[in-house]
Amino acid sequence: MSPSNTPSRRVRRIVALAASVTLAVGLSAVSASTASAASTPVDIDIVNINDFHGRLEANGSTAGAAVLAGAVDSFRAANPNTIFASAGDNIGASTFTSFIQDDQPTIDALNAMKLDVSSVGNHEFDKGASDLTNRVIPATDFPYLAANVFDKATGKPAYDQYFVKDVAGIRVGFIGAVTEELPSLVSPAGIQGITVAPIVSSVNTVADELKDGDASNGEADVIVLLVHEGAATPEVAAPDTVFGKIVSGVNANVSAIISAHTHQLYDYESPVPGVPGATRPVLQTGSYSMDLGHLALSVDPDTKKLLSITSEVLPLTDAAADNAPLYPADPTVQAIVDAAVSKADVLGSVETGTITADFDRARQSDGSENRGGESVLGNFVADVQLWSTQQAGAEIAFMNPGGLRADLTYAGSGDAAGSVSYKEVASVQPFANTLVTLNLTAAQIKQVLEEQWQPAAAARPFLKLGVSKSLAYTYAPLAAAGSHITSLTLNGAPLAADQNVKVVVNSFLASGGDNFTTLAEGTDVADSGKIDLQSMVDYFGQYKTASPDEAQRAIGVSYPAGLDVAAGVAAGQSVTVDLSSLLFSGGEPAAPTVDIVAGGAVIASGTIDPAVVDTTDEVGRASVTFTVPAGAAVGDVISASVPGTGTSTALLTVTSAAVVSPVVPVTPAPTPTPAGGAAPGSLANTGANGAESIGLGALGVLALLIGGAAVALRRRRAVR
């Protein structure tokens, strides 16, 4: 049972074990009432966390390491038969206090908490498998488990697959597994020596061995799965999802599933495969020590059968009392945290430069991070990386949204407003990746951008790359997979299809990370010798101050069905265009309107809907109907421009002075989703890329020059 006076966020009912049901998993046919009369059932508590990410210090709803340790202490005081487990990502993507010291303070804190066992997470591999094997694991007092990771050379398990702890004569077994997406989540170069096998088959093999009666391959009375994979939402995982298939595929030898990776909070019971009517707990505790998972087991000491199991997720802070801790801080762990903070304060206090306003990541409608949205911060980091490698000839930079772990805020953190310390810079980019240059063709650059629409099996359906201001593009939100990108310009000119361009990305992306596999196909790959974090420090050293660039570098454009964009439009023709991705979602000022400009004059305006569209880059939508001026000359460009932000793109070129029958506007399409394909008659851009360029055709250069002149008339805040 949980300690007294501990509020439960989600308390689960006892899993009733009917006498008519026999479970190989150990969910026995024996109920508590039929346990051996001579023996008292053994009560075992398993408390658990996931995705701690080096959150040593308390910060709002994040309890911090010392309070987390205090919660574990409370359980152990109430029941000596307590096990403390983690489902991975204990380190990596950490706050500055831990990051600047290679996460050693976090390892020290977990050792002091007497963490019993952990699965590996993808972030344990941030610095490569060698670092995990040779530095991290030797520093821990607990085993790291990975049943589905194998040595490529020998075919043998690369890490311990299971761990069994004897608790009052009951053998409690833990099997660990890591997401099958691992090769796309860390630098592939760092895990060249290992392979990641399917979770379900790997776990089932080990679970069967732990129940086969052969002591030589381990035996367990009760088995718990620690899997670094999870549901994408707080709801019960759908059967056809990655996590749903794990839940339904792991066999009946497993009594409970503790999950991770997706930073969700859920606690539910799922049917046990092959055992009608039986269920088992499935839970995840969010992240960052906000909550603590708890499994309560009752086991017959004679038969070793599991009599009952309950599950719950407990808050570690009281939201109603300004997130006051619900447990006393452990003094030993607190001392470790205090020492780490003192050292980090010295290392991170140096000012690197100043900013004039916030540089934010994209946000969902609930205010949480949206890795599918274009962000001021992502674009700024790309600009910095391009600046850092300009002597190497780089022309375009891409930045993955998952590499941005904090906003760069004007208010700062313990320093003067606008001041940017080394600690703040490091909190934004904690991975210290190297910058790599490589050559790509225009077609490959287009394909990289197409890969923002992620594979169906990916945890996130869409990942928006930050791009340097040298690159701009339009896309058709509802187009079929592989054909979203409709125009590309480099430094204001259409990108020729056969043009080679030197691109700079961090080492994670250069190896094809986050499923941007085309980047791994680049030629003339070279390590620039620059580190992303140091490049940011150097940038501030050069320019001292930076201001956000509010211009969108990607704009969604949908045209009416039947309009041939490549053929252009005629004077007097009426057209409706649907625009999206006109605004940022990180709290930046939202422009109310978008203008349609022809010949330097505004010919129509539309109201921008600022509503955030979760998981996508569609925030800032507008549908505008306009008539091409009767006096428009052949070669005139029709463009869209957002006043006050610098956002602008060419839409159409006037190719005929004669008035033609107008294209009948169609009803605007519903809000697109990143993975959606274009249905027949949908508002997808029907224009094709020309043979000579990826853009708006032969008049593309002129279009961009005229469109740029219109934008130049408006105030633009540029990154300096």
CATH classification at residue 204: 3.60.21.10
Specify the pLDDT at position 719.
30
Q: Which tokens hold the place of 342?
A: 């003192």
In a domain, 208, yes or no: yes
Instruction: Tell me if 126 sits within 8 A of 186, measured CB to CB.
Output: yes
Q: Exposed/middle/buried for 524, CB within 10 Å: 0-12, 13-18, 19+?
A: exposed
Domain co-membership, 283 together with 329: yes
Q: If you write DSSP's letter for every residue of 231-250 in order, what string do you get?
A: -SSSSPPPTTSHHHHHHHHS
**Cα(330)–Cα(327) distance, integer angstroms:** 9
| E strand map for 253-371 | 256-259, 265-271, 279-285, 291-299, 306-315, 317-318, 324-325, 351-355
- The CB-side HSE value for 192 (13 A sphere, CA atoms) comes to 3
Same domain, 522 and 581: no
Q: Which domain holds residue 127?
A: 10-340
Q: Which residues contact 100 (CB under 8 A, 6 or more apart)?
A: 343, 344, 347, 348, 423, 426
Number of domains in the chain: 3
Residue 399 sits in a domain whose CATH number is 3.90.780.10
Pick from 595, 611, 612: nearest CA to 603: 595
Residue 314 confidence (pLDDT): 98
Let me know whether 406 and 443 are in one domain: yes
Angle between helical axes of 331-348 and 65-78 (0-180°, round to 10): 170
In-domain check, residue 698 = yes
Task: Pick the closest to residue 372 from 684, 642, 578, 613 (CA basis).
Answer: 613
Among 294, 295, 293, 289, CA closest to 323 = 289
Whether residue 539 sits in one domain with residue 572: no
Domain end residue (candidates: 340, 362, 396): 340
pLDDT reported for residue 40: 96
List strands edge to edge, sheet with 279-285.
Answer: 162-167, 170-178, 222-228, 256-259, 279-285, 265-271
User: 286, 321, 340 — which closes off a domain?
Assistant: 340
The residues pairing with 596 across neighbouring beta strands, listed in sequence order, are 604, 640
CA distance 247 to 270: 7
Residue 719: inside a domain = no
CA distance 70 to 316: 10
Residue 1 lies in a domain: no
Parallel/antiparallel/unpaired status of strands 324-325 and 291-299: unpaired
- Write the CB contacts of 709 (distance below 8 Å, at least 6 apart in sequence): 600
Walking along the chain (720 residues) 10 residues at a time, the average pLDDT comes out as 40 33 36 55 98 92 96 98 98 87 97 98 94 98 98 98 98 98 87 97 98 95 98 91 97 98 94 96 95 98 97 96 96 98 91 96 95 98 97 96 94 82 90 88 97 91 97 96 96 91 94 94 86 90 96 97 93 97 95 96 97 95 97 95 96 80 52 40 31 40 36 32
Please state, in angstroms and rounded to a whole number, the distance separating the CA atoms of residues 472 and 708. Answer: 12
Q: Exposed e or buried b for every residue in 314-345, given b needs 16+ CB within 10 A?
A: bbbbeeeeebebbbebbeebbebbeebeeebe
Q: Of 383, 380, 504, 387, which is closest to residue 434 (Cα–Cα)?
A: 504
Spatial separation of the C-alpha atoms in residues 432 and 582, rounded to whole Å: 32
Element (H, E) at 194: strand 194-196
Same domain, 294 and 395: no
On whether both 128 and 223 belong to a single domain, the answer is yes
User: 604-630 in b/e burial notation, b at 16+ Cβ within 10 A?
Assistant: bbbebbeebbbbbbbbbbbbbebbbbe
- Identity of residue 151: D
- Residues 363 and 329 occupy one common structural domain: no
> Strand 117-119 to strand 82-86: parallel, antiparallel, or no bridges (unpaired)?
parallel
At residue 636, what are phi and psi to the nearest 5 degrees?
A: -60, 150
Q: Are residues 473 and 599 in the same domain?
A: no
The DSSP secondary structure of 461-482, one letter per residue, reads SB-PPEE-TTEEEEE-TTPPTT
The whole-number pLDDT of residue 12 equals: 37
Helix (H) or strand (E) holding 459: none
E strand or H helix at 652 = strand 648-656
Residue 380 inside a domain? The answer is: yes
Do residue 258 and residue 375 come from a single domain?
Answer: no
Tell me, yes or no, whether 5 lies in a domain.
no
| Claim to verify: residue 334 and residue 401 sit in the same structural domain | no
Q: Determine the pLDDT at residue 571.
A: 95
Residue 192 shares a structural domain with residue 306: yes
Q: Residue 720 falls within a domain, yes or no?
A: no
Distance CA 328, CA 326 (A): 7
Beta bridge partners of 194: 151
Q: Which residue has the tokens 């009946």?
A: 252
User: Cα–Cα distance between 402 and 114 in angstroms, integer?
Assistant: 31
pLDDT (0 to 100) of residue 38: 57
With a CB cutoff of 8 Å and minimum separation 6, the contacts of 696 are 487, 494, 565, 566, 650, 652, 653, 687, 703
Helix (H, G, I), strand (E, B) or coil at 415: coil
Which of these three, 319, 340, 361, is where a domain ends?
Answer: 340
DSSP line for 427-457? HHSTT-PEEEEEEEEHHHHHHHHHTTB--TT
Q: Is position 374 within any domain?
A: yes
Torsion sign, CA atoms 539, 544, 548, 552: negative
Looking at the fold, whether 169 and 105 belong to one and the same domain comes out as yes
